[in-house]
Structure 1
């Protein structure tokens, strides 16, 4: 569902020790934030914590979420031909950065 963010996160050396599912969990939360589904965000975030999945960028290794790092993730996530374009709404790089900031 939110593998586009996984693909973007893989651009950073910071997350190479994080498991695939951990990066996807962050992507699910970011996607819910982008779609404005905050009730579901809270529910899924609580579930993730209950099963020890990450809910913040620092938990997947991004201790310093600099503007450059977040822009790199967003650019890769939103590039032409990426699966982000299968989302029910158009998602911009700025929205991806905003969601990542929210998860910082």
Structure 2
């Protein structure tokens, strides 16, 4: 029994660092996995928001106007999209949507 106590007293520091190394390695692995998942979620949400902007553009282009309530919704969608790093063709579509008239112009017959 005395030999075990002597061994522990002589080697507790290396054992402590070994245990801490295992714990830190696990924490680092978990953080990397969480970052990977978070990035995937952000990219997925960004793609869905972009798809929504494209859908709205097609919908309101066909109607030749974009109501004020739709523009407010589109502003929120674009803001989230832009905050997630989106800034491509959808930006051009966003500006075109905002420039559309809010009411359908009456056509002359």
Taking structure 2 as the reference length, what is the TM-score of the superposition? 0.29
- Normalising by the residue count of structure 1, what TM-score does the alignment of the two structures yield? 0.30
Higher relative contact order (CA 8 A, sep 6+): 1
The structure with the largest alpha-carbon Rg is 2
